[in-house]
Amino acid sequence: MSEADSRARHVAIIMDGNGRWAKRRHLPRAMGHRQGVEAVRRLVRSLEGTGIECLTLYAFSSENWKRSEDEVDDLMDLMRKFIKSDLPEFIANDVKLHILGDWRALAPDIVAMLEDALEKTSGGSRTIAVALNYGGQAEIVHAARAAAAQGEITQESIEANLFSAGLPPLDLLIRTSGEVRLSNFLLWQAAYAEMLFVDTLWPDFTPEHLQQALDDFTNRERRFGGR
Ligand code: FPP
């Protein structure tokens, strides 16, 4: 396989461990999430030169509504601030925003900000895909229903109706903080993805950790079921 073939084009991350990061420092959980946003920012800024065409981030799952009202409010506020402060940088850096999940069910002001951001970044060449109010099982149900309404249910017709339609195939899925499970993230897309579980808590994850993950990926042999 050539160097280009063995490069990860699409990387997804389950950003876990914000709460534990804060707890270890006797800080409120909100501080962990705030540092988590800093980690996102560092990574987005470091993408150039990595070969990554799409970075997908699990920011809010459909199960996250079960958290306390205060924590959900904190996360939504961080989202508002992040879009407001970082949208100009996305545009300047040729980054295109993509969203996966039932994001239109979020607060109307966030939906409006996201619509604006999608429009303003639509010309970008590198994609940041953010999973918001996302659940993998619900995504597959939604895609299968849409496929059935259009005609035959096939692997291709389901794939064409997933939130990830149009993104490159998922190459590498990383989860931080030592937990080893998918938590309903990209269940369909992960069929042939390489998985990497690292102990680092999300707020401590740096571009160097990402580069290590990419090097690790390049050294793996992917057979897609063949020999
Ligand atoms: C998991 O940590 C993290 C989340 C549920 C939210 C992830 C969100 C961010 C990093 C910030 C928002 C992102 C953007 C793009 C603005 P946890 O709270 O489950 O940690 P714990 O398992 O240690 O308690």
Q: Write out pLDDT tens, residues 20-67.
A: 999 999 999 999 999 999 999 999 999 999 999 999 999 999 999 999
Interval 131-142: pLDDT, tens: 999 999 999 999
Q: Pick the residue whose CA is nearest to atom 6 on ligand 1.
A: 59
Q: Pick the residue whose CA is nearest to atom 1 on ligand 1.
A: 16
**Residues framing ligand 1 (Cβ under 6 A):** 15-20, 33, 36-37, 40, 57, 59, 64, 78-79, 82, 130, 177, 202
Choose, from 16, 74, 86, 171, the residue flagged as catalytic.
16
| Domains of the chain and any CATH numbers | 10-218 (3.40.1180.10)
Distance of CA 66 to the CA centre of its chain: 20
Q: Contact 198/174 with Cβ under 8 angstroms?
A: yes
Interval 105-159: pLDDT, tens: 999 999 999 999 999 999 999 999 999 999 999 999 999 999 999 999 999 999 9
Q: Looking at ligand 1, which atom is closest to the CA of residue 83?
A: 16
State the pLDDT at residue 226.
Answer: 83
Contact residues for 22 (Cβ-Cβ < 8 A; gap 6+): 28, 29, 30, 31, 32, 35
Asked if the model's pLDDT at residue 95 lies above 90, the reply is yes
Interval 164-182: pLDDT, tens: 999 999 999 999 999 999 9
Asked if the model's pLDDT at residue 3 lies above 80, the reply is no
Cβ density class 30-44: b for 16+ within 10 Å, e for less: bbbbbbbbebbeebb
Asked if the model's pLDDT at residue 16 lies above 70, the reply is yes
Asked if the model's pLDDT at residue 1 lies above 70, the reply is no
